[in-house]
Amino acid sequence: MKIKSINFKKLFIQLIIFFLGLWIIQCGVAIFLNANIGSDPFTLFTQGVSKTLNITPGNANRIITLIILFVLLLLDRSNINIGTFLSIICAGPILDGMILIFNNIMPMNDMHIVLKIFLLVISCIAIGIGFSILKSANLGVAPNDMLVLTIVDKTKKSYTIIRLLCDTFFLVVGILLHGVLGIGTIIIWALIAPSIDFFLERTTKFVHNKILNF
């Protein structure tokens, strides 16, 4: 059997693109948590698990993503790639680190609610861009994101519809586990899916045509 050679230069660039996207996503999530007026549904779910098990949000994220990965291994393992495991290993520490950094450089406890909402909207856009960048690296995505993409592939429904349904599930369970629910949760629930949907194709086309086209 012929073994396909690895283009290490291309892989290196893919990893840079992947980690740039992952970092942008976790910056957005850290702002959600620090604003404390409600986080995105999956983070609310993570936050609920964190409180229930008395562990950090980063550790809760790793536990949840490992469980989802196990389910995906049973359903459809074709989309699992190195980036899937990098997300599990690296997303939690990056999130915990960005929470600490933002707490020091941009404390939000006494920030006006209007400014917090503005930052949440900016974060939704940033996460849409970050996820689009990460996915365009073609190294795989985090298990929770892959779950949405797998359902989209199998049902042929739009990304926005499936993402909203999955986010609603995480939202309900997160509330039951005492995650922080607030006005920000509704804003994020409404904006994340269309933000990703808007940037995904555009970013992927740009990265593939301008950066990875060699």
- pLDDT of 1 over the 50 cut: no
List the domain range (segments joined by +) for residue 140.
13-211
Structural domain includes residue 2 = no
Query: Do the beta carbons of residue 44 and residue 170 sit within 8 Å?
Result: yes
Structural domain includes residue 1 = no
- Two tokens, residue 126: 């940033």
Block residue for tokens 């804003």: 187
* SS3 (DSSP) at 178: coil
Q: What is the pLDDT of residues 112-129, one digit of tens each?
A: 999 999 999 999 999 999
Count of other CB atoms within 10 angstroms of residue 205: 11
Query: Do the beta carbons of residue 84 and residue 146 sit within 8 Å?
Result: yes
Measured CA angle at 153 (ends 73, 171), to 5 deg: 75
Q: What is the pLDDT of residues 84-101, one digit of tens each?
A: 889 888 988 999 899 999
Structural domain includes residue 156 = yes
Count of other CB atoms within 10 angstroms of residue 59: 16
Of the candidates 102, 161, 104, the residue with the CA atom closest to the CA atom of residue 126:
102
Per-residue model confidence (pLDDT) at position 100 = 92
Structural domain includes residue 62 = yes
Per-residue model confidence (pLDDT) at position 13 = 92
What predicted TM-score, i.e. pTM, was given to this entire model? 0.83
Per-residue model confidence (pLDDT) at position 127 = 93
Domain count, the chain: 1
Structural domain includes residue 3 = no
Structural domain includes residue 5 = no
- pLDDT of 9 over the 70 cut: yes
Distances (CA, A) of 88 to 63, 65, 80, 81, 157: 9, 6, 12, 12, 27
Q: Mean pLDDT over residues 2-31, rounded?
A: 86
- pLDDT of 186 over the 70 cut: yes
Structural domain includes residue 44 = yes
